[in-house]
Structure 1
Amino acid sequence: MVTGPLPGSLSALRRDRALADLSGSSVDVVVVGGGVTGTGVALDAAARGLSVVLLERADLASGTSRWSSKLVHGGLRYLAHGEIGLARESARERAVLTGTTAPHLVRPLPFLVPDVAGRSVTALAEAGGRAADLIRRSVPGGRGSLPSTRRVSRAEVSRLVPGVRAGRGGVVFWDGQLVDDARLVIALARTAAAHGAQVLTGATVDAVDGADVHLGLDDGEALTLRAGAVVNAAGVWSQRLAPAIRLVPSRGSHLVVPGSRLGSPTAALTVPLPGSRSRYVFALPQPDGLVYLGLTDEPVSGSVPDDDPVPSDYEVRQLLDTVNQVLTSPLSHSDVVGSYAGLRPLVLPDSAGTGPGDATADLSRKHLLRWDGPVLSVVGGKLTTYRAMAEETVDAVVERLGRGAARSGTARLPLVGAASRASLAGIEAPARLVARYGTEAPVVAGLGLEPMVDGRAETVGELRFAVRHEGARSVADLLDRRTRIGLVPADRARAVPTAERVLAEEP
């Protein structure tokens, strides 16, 4: 349990002090973008002794980083594309997250591929799973971190996902699941703040002119500061600071359905997309009893808007039709209680033509690292490998600046709330809060355990904690990012009055 002041508390008072000191100041690194990549870079740079300011135009995790499948992938899909290096890097970073940096936020999750999807499908899944097992055992911390791939009986299939049609059995492989992608971003930002980084939301970078960084605050104030280097970690919006980058945004969409419609599964149902040997639709069970059904991969043309993307009618049909192939009781549109979509910032290789075509699913998930004057853009990659991307980025910054520790220590640096699984098991607080806040769960529980709304597990204490320590400043911050009740619009609407009351009551 935490005693004393909370490390890296993103309080309103801290923000006011940072703003008072910011105008005209000089720092080593300005990071643009408060997603998983930007907060990872801010942490790595601050932990190496560099002075850091992270600027986010909206809120932490307000872009792509909250719209993922909430998985910590070991790289099984990369194997299908022959990208062994990426698969190994993913497996290594998964082991770091689950073993050191955020054990409280990650849990092992079985993935079921049932025989009713086709015996050739399960044979391929078994071969891929066993190859992934070999890679996992070859990376530090990987051996013993997850169970091995295995065939399961018809009875086991029914136990794991009761809604699947009867068949001969299936294959189970294992991967990692985040309790919430946005909570990982918040933990990274607060850990960076605990190492001295200034984390400012509601701050839009308008221009970089040499060493001068010009920004506007959401209250209309304009400020300028000087930076030794500017890291552009704005994801699909990176071209606003680096127009020469060739991005191919791809939309990934999910549907939210009650878990009861699939028999309250304990494994992720895995069904191949018709006509593909490497793309699957997953029905991912969540701790709150919901299931997230995804994932699509649709090219997006034109400029990237600031507003959140939404799934198309085609994507909704595709997801439902694919998973319905193996269900006893098919899902319909009326079963969908929510949906969400995010944009992947895929990088178009220099060798490609002038247009992306429609094959975003086949583009590599490798990231790009490139200097344009004082701006270093880091774009692409995957949530799982954020730490490795950040390490490589800060290596380049340290080399450019000639100061800061030469080597990253973030692979051995626990995030706020992290502890060993044995320690987490002994924390006296509701298990749901421990899974989201780790060692800080008793503090959250002490702020109030009454539910925000009837029938949901989210508490008023979580809202108060978000305002006091996690930089939440609006209803959207509270309901759509610090908690995820916003994924079900009907529940969000019921929670708005409570969120408004907490914002009014908190200083």
Structure 2
Amino acid sequence: MTAARLGPQERDAALRAMADTELDVLVVGGGIVGAGVALDAVARGLSVGLVEARDFASGTSSRSSKLIHGGLRYLEHLDFPLVREALTERGLLLSRIAPHLVRPVPFLFPLRSHWERPYIGAGVALYDALALSGTRTRGLPGHRHLSRRAALRIFPALRRDALVGAVQYWDAQVDDSRYVVMVLRTAATYGAHIASRTQAVGFLREGEHVTGARVVDLETGREFAVRAKQVVNAAGVWTDEIQEMVGGRGQIHVRASKGVHLVVPRDRIHASSGLILRTEKSVLFVIPWGRHWILGTTDTAWDLDKVHPAASRTDIDYVLNRVNAVLKTPLTRDDVEGVYAGLRPLLAGESEETSRLSREHTVAHPVPGLVLIAGGKYTTYRVMAKDAVDAVAHGLGGGVPPSVTDRLPLVGADGYFALWNQRRILARRTGLHVSRIQHLLRRYGSLIHEVLGLIAEQPDLKQPLTGADDYLRAEVVYAVRYEGARHLDDVLSRRTHIAIETWDRGLAAAEEAAQLMAGPLGWDDAQIAREVEYYRARIEAERAAQEQDSDQEADAVQHGAPDIVPQATTVRV
């Protein structure tokens, strides 16, 4: 089956289809949970539409720690079912669903005293045992205990007095925003109608029953009705706002927790493994990320702008101070290439600390025709989607087949392992270096042939992008034609990670990337200039915010940069 595109023409067709026919399910929200709901529903034989007010994965789902993990720290809270569920999903993603996007990564857990070894060792042993409890999925290497000398061979950057030994274990990581796009393309391949920059501004009602939504195509300003038998609110941290559209009688209340991550060059920390550190509130990771490390995260309450949560100087210093406590050569702010802040949608509870709020998810049916799904974590998105569609099936009166997504590979997964083995052959055939082929395979899997097809049509796309030579020019064009990118920030921040992987946050690449996008999107010179200027203003605002001491000051500064596509006003019905 040929993978569906999410390009400009396909978006137009999706909007026409949603306006012209009654759907079984309309999904509001294009993050990982909404994407998962769309795929689960369409794979059960339901007609599905999905609308996203911004870019796909532009909220929480592109600003995570980029880990697929069971949550080792939840074992301390005795939350064994949550950890087992997440570890089962980790195995499915690694072996069957997305082996091209999810890959193993080792972590070192330094021990500060000898008494920690039996305690931490028992916890990690239980972690591995819970992972093995599901026999259908590929496992990862088991944990091992290390002396101080052995640990320092793996992580020479650690101070000798920072540990007496260590335990090494394995988890997995993912390109979070790319994964969302792949889920959406898989859903579209099976017939779902997908559109970004399309905002739900109100619900359609027949008495108490929700029968669809009024949506606005933010690119044109056109408003139209989408009729659906069931609507799923998968808006994450915007869950409460969507509930307000049906009178505020929601059964789910979400609190946002801000997590800030730093990106530093790989050569700043000499190590061949990731690192996990205990903090006074939670844990902090040092995660290998290509030619970089990701350091994070913070965990603080956030009640300001949800579209662009701001990282402050305090946040950055917190992460640096916690990491520097164990490094031989401390990092400084000058070592930080990129910074990003995301919001976790946590189910509100009695605790005042967001770090203690539940990472479990819940599904509610507050009024007939409307299903709400919230909470959870990236790793368990598929289970969340299954539970939401089970509620949809109940609302439809039954007769809907059970979920099949545990057996459904994403587009790009089929044939990936064989292509990986053939990567040197592909390099010789295309004239690209084998490292370029590896890069493309890890981003596109077996869809690499679509990228290579663009290069065959237009050979200059084979060249690296100026100012961001980890990426080829072809990847910018591909992002527009195949992956739904509609604005410059979509490409530099989510289809690629140039915005956090380059010292200038992608400014040197902006002009050329905009020129490459112009053809398939029909931009004139004025629109190219506008895209570059909006991106530049956004980066300058983020940098200025990162010099402020408080959340309030950082948020006020970051508000100075307008969005390229303003949001519409929602209405309560």
Whether TM exceeds 0.5 here: the answer is yes
Give the corresponding residue for 1:261.
268
Instruction: Give the conservation status (yes or no) of the 8 Å contact 1:74–1:176.
Output: no
Query: SS of the residue aligned with 1:241?
Result: helix
Measure the CA separation in 1 of the matches of 2:164 and 2:74: 29
Which ranges in structure 1 are unaligned for 5 or more consecutive residues?
Answer: none
Measure the CA separation in 2 of the matches of 1:482 and 1:489: 18
Instruction: Give the conservation status (yes or no) of the 8 Å contact 1:395–1:406.
Output: no
1:453, CA displacement in angstroms? Answer: 2.5
Instruction: Give the conservation status (yes or no) of the 8 Å contact 1:104–1:419.
Output: no
Letter in 1 for 2:28: V
> Are the structure 2 counterparts of residues 267 and 213 from structure 1 closer, same or farther at C-alpha, using a change threshold of 3 Å?
same
Query: SS of the residue aligned with 1:457?
Result: strand
Give the alignment partner of residue 465 of structure 2, picking from 431, 443, 452: 452
Measure the CA separation in 1 of the matches of 2:317 and 2:116: 22
Give the corresponding residue for 2:543.
none
Measure the CA separation in 2 of the matches of 1:501 and 1:212: 38
Query: SS of the residue aligned with 2:477?
Result: helix
Measure the CA separation in 2 of the matches of 1:454 and 1:313: 27
Matched length? 487
1:121, CA displacement in angstroms? Answer: 4.5
Instruction: Give the conservation status (yes or no) of the 8 Å contact 1:188–1:415.
Output: yes
1:25, CA displacement in angstroms? Answer: 2.7
Give the corresponding residue for 1:481.
494
Letter in 2 for 1:259: R
Give 1:41-440 correspondences, 5 Å limit.
41-115=37-111, 117-142=112-137, 145-166=139-160, 168-178=164-174, 180-210=175-205, 211-218=211-218, 219-242=220-243, 243=248, 244=250, 245-263=252-270, 265-273=271-279, 275-276=280-281, 279-287=282-290, 289-301=291-303, 305-349=305-349, 352=350, 357=352, 359-373=353-367, 374-402=369-397, 405-419=400-414, 422-427=417-422, 428=426, 430-440=437-447
Measure the CA separation in 2 of the matches of 1:298 and 1:190: 34
Letter in 2 for 1:20: R
Instruction: Give the conservation status (yes or no) of the 8 Å contact 1:270–1:283.
Output: yes
Give the corresponding residue for 2:7.
11
Query: SS of the residue aligned with 1:445?
Result: helix
Point out 4+ residue stretches in structure 1 off by more than 3 angstroms.
Answer: 117-124, 153-156, 419-422
Q: What CA RMSD, in Å, does the superposition of the two structures yield over aligned residues?
A: 1.9
Instruction: Give the conservation status (yes or no) of the 8 Å contact 1:92–1:140.
Output: no
Query: SS of the residue aligned with 2:385?
Result: helix
Measure the CA separation in 2 of the matches of 1:75 and 1:424: 32
> Are the structure 2 counterparts of residues 155 and 498 from structure 1 closer, same or farther at C-alpha, using a change threshold of 3 Å?
farther
Query: SS of the residue aligned with 2:471?
Result: coil
Measure the CA separation in 1 of the matches of 2:276 and 2:119: 13
TM-score normalised according to structure 1 size:
0.92
Residue 497 of structure 2 corresponds to residue 497 of structure 1: no
Instruction: Give the conservation status (yes or no) of the 8 Å contact 2:416–2:441.
Output: no
Query: SS of the residue aligned with 2:462?
Result: coil
Give the corresponding residue for 2:30.
34
Measure the CA separation in 2 of the matches of 1:454 and 1:127: 47
Letter in 2 for 1:64: T
Measure the CA separation in 1 of the matches of 2:223 and 2:509: 34
1:363, CA displacement in angstroms? Answer: 1.3
TM-score normalised according to structure 2 size:
0.82
Measure the CA separation in 2 of the matches of 1:268 and 1:234: 32
